[in-house]
Structure 1
Amino acid sequence: MTIGLVSTATTSFNSPFNLRRRLGSLDLVSRGHAGWNVGTTGDAGTARNYE
């Protein structure tokens, strides 16, 4: 039996570069059994984080 690890993270509060590094580390530690729960939002305030 293989157990996978899934993380929920958002680029609203994390820079995409740092988020990718963390998820890459999780993938390495789990030997390729990692996932990312991606959530989207229609919130205009969140969208302004990238202006």
Structure 2
Amino acid sequence: MRSKMDVLAAQPVGNTPAELAAFVRAEQKKWGDLIREVGIKAEHSPRDSRELPACH
């Protein structure tokens, strides 16, 4: 696992669940603000969602 994280330049940390939640909220705000500021929009698949196979 360590070698996979090294390839991604990821740094594992041992945080509490509350610290993780705070980090995720901060990242959502940071990237959400940027996305809204520059007007990024999601691309929609040409396939209608009703055509997707059922998951079992």
Tell which has more relative contact order, 1 or 2 (C-alpha 8 A, sep 6+).
1
Give me the TM-score of the superposition, normalised by structure 1: 0.36
Greater strand content? 1
Question: Of the two, which has the highest radius of gyration?
Answer: 2
Greater helix content? 2
Give me the TM-score of the superposition, normalised by structure 2: 0.33
